[in-house]
Structure 1
């Protein structure tokens, strides 16, 4: 890319990385804190993201696209069970669901999310279907249950990022063992759209 475009791309990467760190630590932090952490001028930030709302929306949209990319990769695995396991491990490592845990309700999603949301539902359903077909995934586990697993791992946070990653993988391993256990699961499973209320803007 030409020099100016390359600089703009670098700034954009710095801003999004900084915004993720700032808003996961404090969703109410001002946008100026993002500019300071990114080492860019506030005017440069506003040229790319005219409001905090737009910046939050972009962060979560990028997280959703990352989730879908990992889900698509899982479908390329010929082993339905290993496809599920690898998918969950990669999404936990990418820390995608921390965005949901910390930022849901802090901005208003728009229609640009819909294609990715629909794709997410479709590929997750297919991952679960293939895992069930192997006979290893316990009956009664639904695509919505995967969201609960991922959010449970994302809720684990330590001051040391390395320790956080270790503990998340440890908990995921225990949850995966539960996915192969016998017996009925208590209560009805989560229903499609049951958690959509979290994305309504909180006042």
Structure 2
């Protein structure tokens, strides 16, 4: 028997997924109406769950941070430093971590968000240090490099375009192509004879954007 609680939870999952999808397509200009329409619920239902669009995006951010941290913890628990790091990157890319980048600086960062983000930074630092020490990760790759790589690959313009066009027949091929690109990118993290060009990116390029100016 389906209860009101079950319906509410189902609607909440639909809203959160719709918000992620609309953000990927429309960026920070994603509208509440578009999110509600994508989720198949009324705007009233959305506002009963989230008082503001900012509150909805903050909830999305917390879920994204939780996924990042859980993926990093699983990576560190793997006895193989390279397998653990690669699995972490795979998990974050498949989750679509980069879809929230457009709202950086547009919402208030709550204390809970800050605490989870610091935890995520520490976990990624540990993954990178372990990979370097084991000699499976090139020495000039930094945690910010990994974060930006995940952000770049976490969004797929091709997949977004095909979804907008309703080309479900091409989505499996697009997903397969995305996996190939991820494999190519991961291979580039392996130690090689040539150094990476230029200085390493600064923290401001990743986390600094979330501070309102």
Q: Structure 1 length as normaliser, TM-score?
A: 0.88
State the Cα distance separating 1:194 from its structure 2 match.
Answer: 4.3
Cα pair distance change 1:75/1:67, threshold 3 Å: same
Alpha-carbon distance in 2 for matches of 1:126, 1:116: 15
Q: How does 1:167-178 map to 2 (within 5 A)?
A: 167-178=177-188
Match of 1:110 in 2: 110
CA-atom RMSD in angstroms: 2.1
Q: How does 1:78-117 map to 2 (within 5 A)?
A: 78-100=79-101, 102-117=102-117
8 Å contact from structure 2 (residues 148, 206) kept in 1: no
Is 2:172 the counterpart of 1:162? yes
State the Cα distance separating 1:196 from its structure 2 match.
Answer: 3.1
Number of residue pairs the alignment of both structures matches: 201
Q: How does 1:190-201 map to 2 (within 5 A)?
A: 190-201=201-212
Alpha-carbon distance in 1 for matches of 2:157, 2:205: 25
8 Å contact from structure 1 (residues 72, 123) kept in 2: yes
Match of 2:136 in 1: 136
Q: Which runs of 5+ in 2 are unaligned?
A: 163-170
State the Cα distance separating 1:166 from its structure 2 match.
Answer: 2.6
State the Cα distance separating 1:200 from its structure 2 match.
Answer: 3.8
Larger deviation, residues 56-65 vs 74-83: 56-65
Deviation track 1:111-166 (CA, whole Å, cap 9, x = no partner) reads 22011101101110111111112212111111111012112213432133434433
More helix by share: 2
Larger deviation, residues 139-148 vs 150-159: 150-159
Alpha-carbon distance in 2 for matches of 1:177, 1:82: 12
Q: Structure 2 length as normaliser, TM-score?
A: 0.84
Q: How does 1:70-81 map to 2 (within 5 A)?
A: 70-81=71-82
State the Cα distance separating 1:81 from its structure 2 match.
Answer: 1.0
Alpha-carbon distance in 2 for matches of 1:148, 1:164: 21
